[in-house]
Structure 1
């Protein structure tokens, strides 16, 4: 581990089973349960977790994932019942799209291809 580098990321979720199913299907993440209110994930490039909440989720940060084939990534997100919020668009350095997961967390997927 390196000082001052992002080491972990946490999200809130309304339904931990739905979150696990979504990220396992869309991105092949691996999960470890830590009781009824928390699950950790790995296999994403950066480890993190989801904490169960009943309150409204307000996402203050955009987490960006990488995929070499945006069309494949987009299809997998849709198949896993994610919602595309911004279709594929270009930006300096590549292309990306945004989506929300079943709990409303917004993320993006980018590619330099």
Structure 2
């Protein structure tokens, strides 16, 4: 069953963003390198991405059971893959644009 699992937020200053969300909502973050941090609640989590080369929009991430089957289904439904499947700590994912041009990602955890 596919479900919204993650929301990636582009941020200008990772430390400032972590502080804001900690103070406003009590969230704690795990650092993954110098430019990325994420909540690890096990529910819908939030990633803070301060890498300069990233898209500067929110990125909804949909958790799926079979990444290759999802990629085929996205393309068959009229979506366009804009970042091919790649591995990251915790799983693999790809990015796609829906029929209205919104960028999303599908991920399969390890």
TM-score w.r.t. length of structure 2: 0.48
TM-score w.r.t. length of structure 1: 0.47
